[in-house]
Structure 1
């Protein structure tokens, strides 16, 4: 199976821990080839990655990302260019490769991905796990409330279909209309440009922080999601995760910080200790943003009231403000 990460030199160690977990829990698979679309990865870190591959009798290929012909709107936008590299994977990966599993660096693979290797991807360009996004956000980026919206942290690309489209032109045309309405950077763009061409897979392949920190009822209050998984499907995924995705969520501290409070911190620390970065010094997390401060104040209220307020702010007021700002910029 072919697996893809995108990374710069600062996050090689985090990605490396993910790779160790991938190899550890998929030792029975005949073949796993890891491709890294890298930005300025040092020779020292490339050597460490090669050593990891050799230890597991696997292959890791680091591809130094060339200058990509991307829409000018992305150059001037507030997001790092590295966030969009995966959208160009059809151009950057070997032509003979037909399918690839993309993983964010902040993932731990805690089970077998063998079923994904055999998954039929003929019908859509990309497959992912539904994210808990409400109708107001979807409306902003050109989606109907009941249309699918997937998280961009775990994606299964049909590279043959991806290569048939002009990705630069597709993004360019989308950004002309929606650039000022985007909130989740490349994730919004991916869902917007591939609308109607996205398939879904089971949620255990991308168990996010919000899934394990909150109950299903709390998630519906906080995010007001449409076209989401059922409570039964989500509980099953949380109890048997194959891929854990350490996404940000309010004031939850992720496990690569010293003061972590993440429910799945032990899973990350387990593979960190097995990696070449086992002696890395972890820093403390400091919530410095205004948003984090506001969340902290609201969470001092009774829980039911706090969640209702946070749900209103996140799911309705924030996307409304985005729409207002978009009109001001025109």
Structure 2
């Protein structure tokens, strides 16, 4: 299986990549070939990532990004997202001898055997992707002037038909769209990808990209979730994070060379505020469930 990641070591993302790799390798027996497209990555972090790979009998390849190909593309100044996110659009040309690959963001955790997702059929499409929650979809479609019946997908999990993408050149078209559009691309390359491929992807199933938006609508059981995607600016490595699945990140962190790494913004105040907020959310969810039962 070809698994593609894009990383800039800014904000300690090598550590988070290590967590994703660990979660993948501890839930599959398939041989994994990791392709790490990086802009800035220390030799120390490379050694740690190689250690994870060797421990689980997989292969890892580090490929320096040609920043010249993306440097002119727009980034919303208000966003926490880095310019290197556009490098995923270079995957078809970088993996020129491969016909298929799975791109994954570094702010997620895999809970099931990734071969289930990797084995999905494209059915003639360029991608297998997962649509965002309804609220996020509507915002995305409005930004891009898409039709109501069109779909907007989250680009954090993309099964890529590399052979087809090299034929139709749609990732390059997304680059060109980002470089020339007068629209505000709030979510950068995700918006660009949707502008070009909104009708050229197959739905992969919400459990394979379980975002905050999707969880608000579906409320899947943990046993039903394939990938937890920690969307938003406050991640599970932050003491303020209230995502109920944040402990899954910490569980897989223990299986990496970064075991014991402290949480960001760790303080007694932040820990107490997190617990109070989670209690309020739980109480609100409980009251909502009771009201639904009484209406039946």
Smaller-chain TM-score bracket: 0.7 to 0.9
2:180 equivalent to 1:196: no
Quote the residue 1:149 is aligned against.
Answer: 152
In 2, Cα distance between equivalents of 1:39 and 1:92: 14
In 2, Cα distance between equivalents of 1:62 and 1:42: 11
Secondary structure of the residue aligned to 1:162 is helix
Compute the displacement of 1:285 (Å).
7.4
In 1, Cα distance between equivalents of 2:257 and 2:6: 19
2:96 equivalent to 1:112: no
Distance 1:55 1:183, change over 3 A: same
Quote the residue 2:52 is aligned against.
Answer: 52
Quote the residue 2:32 is aligned against.
Answer: 32
Quote the residue 1:96 is aligned against.
Answer: 97
Q: Work out whether residues 148 and 198 of structure 1, in 8 Å CA contact, stay in contact via their aligned partners in 2.
A: no
Output one character per residue of 1:118-172: Cα deviation in whole Å (capped at 9) or x when no partner.
2222511112111023445413313111111110111111111111216445532
2:245 equivalent to 1:242: no
Compute the displacement of 1:77 (Å).
6.1
Distance 1:260 1:80, change over 3 A: closer
2:208 equivalent to 1:208: no
Output one character per residue of 1:212-245: Cα deviation in whole Å (capped at 9) or x when no partner.
4x3x3xxxxxxxxxxxxxxxxx344765111110
Secondary structure of the residue aligned to 2:63 is strand
Quote the residue 2:183 is aligned against.
Answer: 180
TM-score, length of structure 2 as denominator length: 0.80
Once structures 1 and 2 are overlaid, which stretch shifts more, 155-164 or 116-125? 116-125
Aligned length: 264
Secondary structure of the residue aligned to 2:69 is coil
Distance 1:101 1:183, change over 3 A: same
Structure 2, unmatched stretches of 5+, are 268-276, 286-296
Output one character per residue of 1:22-53: Cα deviation in whole Å (capped at 9) or x when no partner.
10111x22x11111101121111111111111
Q: Work out whether residues 134 and 145 of structure 1, in 8 Å CA contact, stay in contact via their aligned partners in 2.
A: no
Structure 1, unmatched stretches of 5+, are 217-233, 287-295, 305-330
2:281 equivalent to 1:279: no
TM-score, length of structure 1 as denominator length: 0.72
Distance 1:41 1:166, change over 3 A: same
Distance 1:169 1:270, change over 3 A: closer
RMSD across aligned positions (CA): 2.7
In 1, Cα distance between equivalents of 2:106 and 2:17: 4
